[in-house]
Amino acid sequence: MEIIRTIKGTNDLLPGESFRWQFAEALIRSQSSRFGFREIRTPIFESTALFSRGIGELTDIVSKEMYTFPDRGGNSLTLRPEMTASVMRSFIQHRLDQDGGVQKLFYIGPMFRAENVQKGRLRQFHQWGVECVSAEGPAADAEVIALMIRTLAAFGLTNLTLRINSVGDEQCRPVYREALRTFFTPVKDQLCPTCQGRLENNPMRILDCKSQVCQTLAKGAPSILDYLNEDCRTHFETLQSLLNALNIAYVIDDRLVRGLDYYTKTAFEVTSNDLGSQNAVGGGGRYDLLVSQLGGKPTPSVGFAIGLERLFIILEELKLNPGWVAPVPDLYIALLDREARMAAASVIDTLRTEGLSVEYDLMNRSLKAQLREADRLGSRFVVVIGSQELSSGQFRLKNMQTGTEQVLPVQEWVQAIRREK
């Protein structure tokens, strides 16, 4: 019979790798809480309207990458392609604004996009994201950027480029859009078919096009930075001063346009100088209008998300170990016969209750096979229990790293093992 496999662009996380993810998630949680961010979890699927309204109908994500399906009642549902819209939906629904002040939220979880699969581009991938909600000033932008950069550094990643831009707001952006239309219209026929469409609807996305021709044509295009109004310009300049004060290096990239429509003012992206084509490790920006677009009160906010698979690709390529250790049992108990098996059951239970990780044979294997298994698992200590040990109450506890043995009663194992940790 043909075996059933994972869907293209999705991965199993196998037990031999899960400790790395657990470590990364623990580091991320600890960094997030250091910066005062608290976890939020929202459902994997939501009403399709949330994303089409939130992210923008014309974006690649909404127009061609969403996993959308009708449920049995005929409602249109979508597997979340990102979580900013979901978090804001939750913020509005649960009136989190009533808690007062700034809400600092983070999440870790799977996202779904029907993309062309390649290295670093999956259909189910994982993000760590943060949203700093109800914070208007550039200090919040600096806060989330600092959290991102400091966390990547905690993983050992420093060969990164942080690019920042301002994409303006609802006052200055329309003027800039018009300037782009005026610039590109005479060369419209030379633009790629996608960008010909963008010229009318969203000309800023032309700046982001991967096609060589569009990139060349965009070279002399006007810069958004010349069109920012006073408010956006001051915001952007203050952000730069704050980043300077934090000693966070950045490059101003006036061509940086992110693939989601909700951004206003600050947009940023972190790329790895060690990754190939899919080199965006993370990105984010400010989205002051999103909450009102979703039916809530105006709530200026800023956030980012990092792709965890991309983080792992870099760690792997650079052979970096941020501090994870593959878990091994503290103790393997090899059992000689049925009597030993019966007697050991409660000993094992007690040791586990006291906090040791204890392994033993569940397959009635020979002593030799059990010792081989202890070795394979990398157990730190091994003890063999047979009738002789049971009658004397003394057991030979062997430290597998040093090869030394101690003869001890059961009551002293925990202490002996802890001592040598």
Footprint of ligand HAM (CB under 6 A): 82, 84, 113, 115, 120-122, 125, 127, 129, 131, 259-260, 280-285, 287, 303-307, 309-310
Q: Return the number of the residue (37 or 125) whose C-beta is nearest ligand HAM.
A: 125
Q: Could you tell me the smallest distance in angstroms from the CB atom of residue 86 to ligand HAM? A: 9
**Alpha carbon of residue 240 to chain centroid:** 26
Question: Among residues 167 and 382, whose Cβ is nearest to ligand HAM?
Answer: 167
d(CA 182, CA 221) in angstroms, rounded, equals 10
| Residue 39 burial class via C-beta count within 10 angstroms: exposed 0-12, middle 13-18, buried 19 and up | exposed
Contact (Cβ atoms closer than 8 angstroms) between residue 11 and residue 112: no
Q: Which residue is nearest to ligand HAM (CB)?
A: 307
Instruction: Give the nearer residue to ligand HAM in terms of CB position, either 141 or 389.
Output: 141
Q: Is the dihedral of CA 347, 350, 354, 355 positive or negative?
A: positive
Residue 416 Cβ vs ligand HAM, minimum distance, rounded to whole Å: 47
Which amino acid is residue 143, in one-letter code? E
Q: Least distance from C-beta 192 to ligand HAM, angstroms?
A: 21
Nearer to ligand HAM, 113 or 173 (CB): 113
Q: How far is the CB of 115 from ligand HAM (least distance, A)?
A: 5
| 283/329 with CB nearer ligand HAM | 283
**Sheet of strand 331-335: strand arrangement:** 358-360, 331-335, 381-385, 395-399, 405-408
Closest of 341, 378, 148, 349 to residue 248, by C-alpha? 148
Q: Minimum Å distance from CB 16 to ligand HAM?
A: 21
Closest to ligand HAM by CB, 120 vs 300, is 120
Cβ distance to ligand HAM smaller for residue 148 or 374: 148
Strands 331-335 and 358-360: parallel
The nearer residue to ligand HAM, 271 or 379, going by C-beta atoms, is: 271
* Number of neighbouring beta carbons within 10 Å of residue 221: 17
Task: Quote the CA–CA distance of 130 and 53 in Å, as a whole number.
Answer: 20
Least distance from C-beta 341 to ligand HAM, angstroms? 48
Least distance between ligand HAM and beta carbon 126 (Å): 8
Residue 389 has a CB neighbour count (10 Å cut-off) of: 18
**Residue (315 or 347) nearer to ligand HAM, CB:** 315
Cα-Cα end-to-end distance for the chain: 48
Distance CA 295, CA 87 (A): 14
**Taking a C-beta distance cutoff of 8 angstroms, is the pair 29, 95 a contact?**
no
Residue 122 beta carbon to ligand HAM: minimum distance, rounded to whole angstroms: 4
Angle at the Cα of 98 from the Cα atoms of 97 and 101, rounded to 5 degrees? 60
Q: What's the closest the beta carbon of residue 161 comes to ligand HAM, in angstroms?
A: 13
Please give the order of strands across the beta sheet that includes 76-79: 45-47, 76-79, 67-70
